[in-house]
Amino acid sequence: MMEYPFLKKANSPFIDRYVKKAAELLEPWNGIESSQVGLIGVPLSKSSISHSGALMAPATIRKEFGAYSTYSIEENLDLALLSITDFGDIDMHVTDIKMSQDRIEQTLTDILTDYPDMFPIILGGDHSISFPAISAIMKTKGRVGVIQFDAHHDLRNLVDGGPSNGTPFRSLIEHDVISGDQLVQIGIRDFSNSAIYSSFAYSNQVTVYTMKDVRKQPITTILEQAIEQLIPLVDCLYLSIDIDVLDQAFAPGCPAIGPGGMDSQTLLDAAFYLGQHPLIKGLDIVEIDPTVDFRNMTSRVGVHVILQFLKGRMAGGLL
């Protein structure tokens, strides 16, 4: 056997065994078991109002797990021993949005029934996927309070254009999956919404924190208020993160870029804070479009949000 001291052979393990990339946490589902955390891809973006390649996001986000280590220096916590079961992607119908939504709801309902203790991380796709995803959560875990990070209300009516990434929360309310007071929207932005949808939000008791509200106080204060308000109404909480809540400087890879949005640190702080809350039973990250991104920086924010959230679960003794 030839040995060269400075030659690292292909596929040889790291010299320092304690160096681990976050990508190594992902374990393909074996058809039998799941770990405490599951990853499920939903590559649907035909339902987008504007051009979107968000169907590419699940694959890109998985790849970008390789960009990070598992260690949090801020909390001195290491996720290295955590396993994330990667269930793969739900197969979308080629053209039929309603049929794709039915597949999402059915598949997630089945998975959450079979693995009731698994925490689902759902990767969109555009925001239309949150309607069937939250419907599955309601069916399997009871009344659900939704904390939505978004530049937009996503409360368009379904009559004019059918189900799209502009309608998921209207659909949830109109299908009685949630009532308006079970929805808290954070990061809603100027010149990105119509007055008619803000009126719909307020007349249906949806709680809205605009970007002005976000600038005025720590994000944890807002989340504390939101959770306190939701808890008496629901059995569990769900976090829906539209990456376009971020300013275009932090998230260039999404269809609806614009100024005046949240900075990424605020979103990461929110993810860490919410990760520690035992009533949060699922999350989705949507609207990342790798086809218009720059160096996958928006997908990387998505991965970082997931890692911060999992760090929160670990810090909160939930993992």
Query: Which residues make up the interface to Ca ion (CB under 5 A)?
Result: 127, 150, 152, 154, 242
Which CB, 64 or 126, lies closer to Ca ion?
A: 126
One DSSP character per residue, 12-38 reads: PPPSSTT--BGGGGEEE--SS---SEE
Contact between 134 and 280 under an 8 Å Cβ cutoff? The reply is: no
User: Which C-beta is closer to Ca ion: that of 54 or that of 237?
Assistant: 54
Give the shortest CB-170-to-Ca ion separation in angstroms. 12
Q: Shortest distance, CB of residue 35 to Ca ion, whole angstroms?
A: 29
Contact by Cβ (8 Å): 202, 208: yes
The distance of closest approach from Cβ of residue 107 to Ca ion in the complex, given in angstroms and rounded to an integer, is 22
User: Measured between alpha carbons, how far is residue 182 from residues 119, 138, 250 in Å?
Assistant: 21, 12, 29
Of 150 and 247, nearer to Ca ion (C-beta) is 150
Tokens 């999350």 correspond to: 283
Smallest distance, Ca ion to C-beta of residue 75, A: 30
| Minimum gap (Å) between residue 127 Cβ and Ca ion | 4
Scanning the structure block, which residue is given the tokens 């924010």?
A: 301
Of 201 and 310, nearer to Ca ion (C-beta) is 201
DSSP 246: B
Nearer to Ca ion, 64 or 242 (CB): 242
Query: What is the Cα–Cα distance from 128 to 25, expressed in whole angstroms?
Result: 28
Which residue, 40 or 288, is less far from Ca ion as judged by CB? 288
CA atoms 198, 202, 208, 213: torsion sign:
positive
Classify 184 as helix, strand or coil. strand
| Min CB(128)–Ca ion separation in Å | 9
How far apart are the C-alpha atoms of 145 and 274, rounded to whole Å?
13
Nearer to Ca ion, 86 or 154 (CB): 154
- My answer on whether omega of the bond before 41 falls inside 30° of 0, hence cis, is no
Scan for tokens 């990061």, then name that residue.
187
Shortest separation between residue 317's beta carbon and Ca ion, angstroms: 32
Q: Can you say whether residue 170 is alpha, beta or left, with left for phi > 0 and alpha for psi between -120 and 50 degrees?
A: alpha
Nearest to 306 by CA among 123, 144, 76: 123
